[in-house]
Structure 1
Amino acid sequence: MKKLTIFLFSIVTLISCNTKPTLQKYFVENTESKDFISIDLGSDIINTEKMSLTDSDKEALESFDKMNVLAFKKEETNKQNYDVEVEKVRTILKDTTSYNELMKFGSGSDGASIYFVGDDDHINEFVLFANKKENGFAVVRILGKDMNPMNIMKIMNLIQKSDINLDQLKPLQEMMK
């Protein structure tokens, strides 16, 4: 009986293990890579002390937890890795059971697309995937709870208006030069 219990537990454990690639796994796997720049930003990046906020601004901020940025800087030494890594991200984002495409900009090898995880009014993650063949690409995950597209637009607007600490973004600014 004990062997049967152990066997059944092992089977359940193996079945429940999700080997499907996700952006979270992709971020973890590449955070320490020399080809990538990784930045994690908390909600405190938005300095609202000198701003007057509407109730909808406050609601949007309350739904926002953090932002993760993973950027691949294309250089002469990693050209071949670039195509492989872009395809990995595209494959992950093609999983329509997890990621819903919201909109797409640009065409061909240069452009950006926005995805979300959840349903229209209860979004837990927005994903921006921007790609420029000459420079590289970036994946931005905006994580929160019960966000909606209007919340994200408000958060982006507040980020632009706020007095953010640009030192946190220096690695990304260096990459874009």
Structure 2
Amino acid sequence: MKKLAIVAALCLMLWSCNSEPTLQQYFVENTESKDFIALDLTTDILKLNKSEISADENAALETLKKMNILAFKADEKNPAKFETERAKIKTILKNEKYQELIKVNSGKEGGAVYFVGKDDAIDEFVLYANKNDAGFAVVRVLGKNMSPTSIMTMLSVLKKADLDIEQLKPLQKMVPN
């Protein structure tokens, strides 16, 4: 009887494990890779004067926890790796948990915005952008109970922000000279 209970427990554990890759796993696996640039940003990057933002803007900012950015720079030395990594991201984003909001594509470049959660309680926005000759970037905007309205409000707050450009310096490696 004891053996049966152990076998049943092991089967349950194996069955409950999701073998599909997640975006979080992808970020963790590639953060230290020389092929990627990784950044973790908080709202501190905005350098906002709290007295200059409205209560609605402040409330929208309170729903935001942080942003994770992972970028792959494509060049003539790594076209196969670029295609492999881009395919991995596309496979992950096909998971039904990522709900597509918008997608744009012009052949050589494109992008999409996804979200995780409910329409009025979004936990994660994912922005994916790719350009065949430059690479791709994935931005995870993590929060709690965000909404499309709060995201739009946050975008308007960016206009008032004095961005801390130092935190974004690693991304300059992505921009061609």
Q: Same fold (TM over 0.5)?
A: yes
Percent identical residues: 52
RMSD over aligned Cα atoms? 1.4
Matched residue type, 1:121: D
Listed as ranges, the gaps of 5+ residues in structure 1 are: none
Partner of 1:126: 125
Q: What is the SS of the residue equivalent to 1:77?
A: coil
Shift, 1:43, TM fit: 2.3
Distance in 2 separating the partners of 1:106 and 1:15: 38
Distance in 2 separating the partners of 1:50 and 1:9: 52
Shift, 1:51, TM fit: 5.2
Residue 136 (str. 1) matches residue 160 (str. 2): no
Deviations 1:85-140 (A, max 9, x none): 11111111112x20111012232230111010111111000000000111000000
Contact residue 122 and residue 144 of structure 2 kept, 8 A: yes
Partner of 1:44: 44
Partner of 2:54: 54
Matched residue type, 2:84: V
Contact residue 125 and residue 144 of structure 1 kept, 8 A: yes
Matched residue type, 2:168: L
Distance in 2 separating the partners of 1:37 and 1:160: 26
Listed as ranges, the gaps of 5+ residues in structure 2 are: none
Deviations 1:15-65 (A, max 9, x none): 111111111111111111111000001122222226511121011101000
Contact residue 116 and residue 123 of structure 1 kept, 8 A: yes
Contact residue 35 and residue 78 of structure 1 kept, 8 A: no
